[in-house]
A and B are shown apart, each in its own frame.
Chain A
């Protein structure tokens, strides 16, 4: 944990999250879509580079699957355009787009063998005989399904069907591969394996992947960039570190990972990157370059792993008194729930270290809760009910 340095201290310099348009393979510009008056997508813009792994992350109903279907061509946008290699494909039917989809339900053709499923797209492109066979076998090798080439999908397990669905899509060498919650039907262990395999496959193929998921762990561990969606809009686009360590708003902060919120008020600014914030009965200095005005209600955000529990107040860092509610040993980490005297309940997560003198906290014991200075994030409070 000591090696960790907050990303937002480095961000402003090189402005990541923006990709030069020249190497973008897919370009989504100002896309909007409504179903019967209900807005599903509002002004969505996104650039995807060659070989990039993008995840669309959000709860169900946020529009992420609709966005995927617009790129695939199953829906037509109300406004905006989709460009593939600089060409507007918005009005093309799905069969004319160099984009393939791995469906959530896999949608394998039940009346065809595994090999015939994979060959389907190639046959339509005019491949025959030896070359068709070679390509099908190569794709089946890539997903390690060559031995089961003659089976029918009805006789395959969920994980095997998943592999066939991936092979059937990538064999067409699409410019972009779309994956609609492809791992959601698999059990946790198989899902971890498939995440690793998907990453490997994507590296090998060098194709841009856009994966839809509601699983934040999946999004963080697999993507080059995460697109967090909220109520038909993009809430934030960034690398996994950016969305985790420097969330754009409270929604993103809450959706990705665990978060502790400390409500406060801005007192004033100390130079360019530092704010004075009143939290409960204390004034603390917080790092922030956001345009926040004195008097504005804010939330100070700290991840569980940012919190430190101490008994001695020798260090000259701000802290809050609290008492331990619960302590659970989780192997590599030790999780603690603390009821602060000021009201809120917070969670701390520390690496397990049996030599640590603070290791033996008991329930009810009083502790000081501080945090690693500079790792805090200050965001305007969006929800007045706090």
Chain B
């Protein structure tokens, strides 16, 4: 009886928390996205579809949307191609070495990512560490323009998101039964064929998990673009930030947020579907 009451209390607490900080804000966001802009206040009646019309019909917004998708996809791809070999070799190391590598991978999380983005600025700036180093070694004569470029944004996103790719991949590859690799060797497969036909298919769950964990947050990382890419790098996250803080167009900011949430929901649902399919065929029994 007492256990039951405690259980009810805990579940109630969790539900209350989710309701207060999850459901209610999203409902508020949804509602405000259908309201009209008010220059003085936040928003006013009447309800209208104006913000959504703006979002879909103004080619400028569509372009921001596409650019964000492209940048997130590119970041994911780079993180995957760097993270996969990293995770593979880490999983093959001895237990002790693996622990050291994983700890090194975790340490940056102790520092806020905004602070770390500022640190990247100090490295990439005109008078930054990298330029000073290149000038000192005589490789270049005048400082390179590194900051406020697409490359700088990509580099920043790559740096911040890489661990989120490596960890799910590592968790998957560490469990990979190496005897399957030996079996493939035994049946006549060379290294490339083994990678393509055995290792990649078996690590698909890790690959999907890593891509989702990089792609979804990247879409909203507005400060990386604004700190490293300057004003030109308008991404969906920046758009939301601008609408709320500068343009004071809360309905449009809300509508953009709703679109971003929808996009993420679709991707997560797709991920869940793929995982179910992989499990259903007995892959992970």
Contact = CB atoms under 8 A, between A and B. Distances in A.
B283 A107 contact: no
A264 interface: no
Interface in B245-285: 281-285
B182 A103 contact: yes
Contact of A93 (B183, B185, B202, B283): B185
A107 B185 contact: no
Contacts of B282: 110, 151-155
Interface in A141-169: 151-155, 168-169
A21 B282 CA distance: 48
B283 A124 contact: no
B208 to A, nearest CB: 14
Contact of B183 (A99, A101, A125): A101
A154 B285 CA distance: 5
Contact of B189 (A73, A105, A107, A124): A124
Contact of A120 (B182, B187, B283): B187
Contacts of B202: 110-111
Interface string A74-102: 10000000000000000001110001110
B151 to A, nearest CB: 38
B182 A109 contact: no
B185 A105 contact: no
Interface string A289-311: 00000000000000000000000
Contacts of B283: 110-111, 152, 154
A172 interface: yes
Interface string B192-231: 0100011001100000000000000000000000000000
A72 interface: yes
A121 B282 CA distance: 22
B188 A110 contact: no
Interface residues of B, number: 22
Contacts of A73: 185-186
B177 interface: yes
Contact of B285 (A93, A110, A125): A110
Interface in A106-145: 107-111, 120-121, 124-125
B182 A94 contact: yes
B138 interface: no
Given A101-B183, A103-B179, A95 B198 contact: no
A100 B186 contact: yes
A125 B187 CA distance: 9
A95 B182 CA distance: 9
Contacts, number: 75
Contact of B198 (A94, A100, A109, A121): A109
A94 B186 contact: yes
B179 A107 contact: yes
B32 to A, nearest CB: 47
Contacts of A93: 185
Interface residues of A, number: 28
Given A110-B283, A110-B285, A154-B283, A120 B179 contact: no
Nearest to B198: A109
Contact of A107 (B180, B188, B284, B285): B180
- With most chain A CB atoms within 10 A of its CB, the pick from B185, B188, B202 is B188
B64 interface: no
B107 to A, nearest CB: 33
B201 A105 contact: no
Interface string B103-121: 0000000000000000000
Contact of A109 (B180, B190, B193, B284): B180
B48 to A, nearest CB: 51
Contact of A101 (B186, B190, B193, B198): B186
Nearest to B181: A107
Given A107-B177, A107-B180, A72 B285 contact: no
A105 B181 CA distance: 13
B184 interface: yes
B285 A94 contact: no
Nearest to A124: B188
Contacts of B281: 111, 152, 154
Interface string B154-189: 000000000000000000000001011011111111
Contacts of A110: 180, 202, 282-285
A176 to B, nearest CB: 12
B179 A105 contact: yes
A124 B187 contact: yes
A103 B188 contact: no
A99 B184 CA distance: 13
Contacts of A109: 180, 183-184, 198
B285 A121 contact: no
A121 B182 contact: no
A137 B180 CA distance: 23
Contacts of B188: 95, 121, 124-125, 172
Nearest to B187: A121
Contacts of B180: 107, 109-110
11 contacts: A94-B182, A95-B187, A107-B182, A109-B198, A110-B285, A111-B201, A120-B187, A120-B197, A124-B187, A151-B282, A154-B285
Interface of B: 177, 179-180, 182-190, 193, 197-198, 201-202, 281-285
Interface of A: 72-74, 93-95, 99-101, 103, 105, 107-111, 120-121, 124-125, 151-155, 168-169, 172
4 closest A-B pairs by CB: A154-B282, A154-B285, A152-B282, A121-B187
Given A95-B188, A110-B202, A110-B283, 5 more contacts: A74-B182, A94-B186, A111-B283, A152-B285, A172-B187
